[in-house]
A = this chain, B = another copy of it.
Amino acid sequence: MLHIDYRDSRPLYEQIADEFEHMAVCGVMAGDTQLPSVRQLAVDLSINPNTIQRAYAVLEQRGVIYSVKGRGNFITPDCSQLRQNKLEQLRQQLIDSACAAIKLGATKEHILSWAQQGITQGEVIL
């Protein structure tokens, strides 16, 4: 089940889109898997169908899903590109953080220890 946080400053449609993108790119939802229908998800989350519709439109624009009129929305089969983009984004983010921390006086050892911390944290959950 999706988790929506009304106190989050991000719009609802973006939260929903991000959650599905995460599931798609992580392989939790395989290619060609059908997403819940706009109307069904709307009642499940107690959210207006238009908002769900918008979330799905965003996902289609991002290339995460494809939509077929009269049939439904489905995960795009080839996710390798999506994963690459996501990794590149994370890479840039990590570099930026490290760079900024150094400028604020963090030592090289600090940074590497944080990175190590993130690594073990990521492996544990696997």
Residues of chain A at the chain B interface (Cβ within 8 Å): 6-7, 11, 25-26, 61, 66, 68-71, 74, 76, 83, 86-87, 90-91, 93-106, 108, 110-112, 114-119, 121-123, 125-126
The answer to whether B111 and A118 touch across the interface, beta carbons within 8 angstroms, is yes
Closest 3 CB pairs of A and B: A98-B118, A102-B122, A115-B115
A11 to B11, CA, bound (A): 16
Contact A97 B118 (CB under 8 A): yes
A103, B119: Cα distance in complex, Å: 9
Residues of B close to A93: CB separation below 8 A: 93, 97
Residues of B within 8 A of A114 (CB): 91, 94-95, 98, 115
A80 to chain B, nearest CB (A): 10
Q: How far is the CB of A123 from chain B (nearest CB, A)?
A: 6
Chain B residues within an 8 Å CB radius of A102: 118-119, 121-123, 126
- Can you list 25 contacts pairing A with B, beta carbon distance less than 8 Å? A6-B68, A6-B74, A26-B103, A26-B104, A61-B61, A86-B104, A87-B104, A87-B106, A90-B97, A93-B93, A94-B97, A94-B114, A94-B115, A94-B118, A96-B118, A98-B118, A99-B118, A99-B122, A100-B122, A102-B118, A102-B121, A102-B122, A102-B126, A111-B115, A115-B115
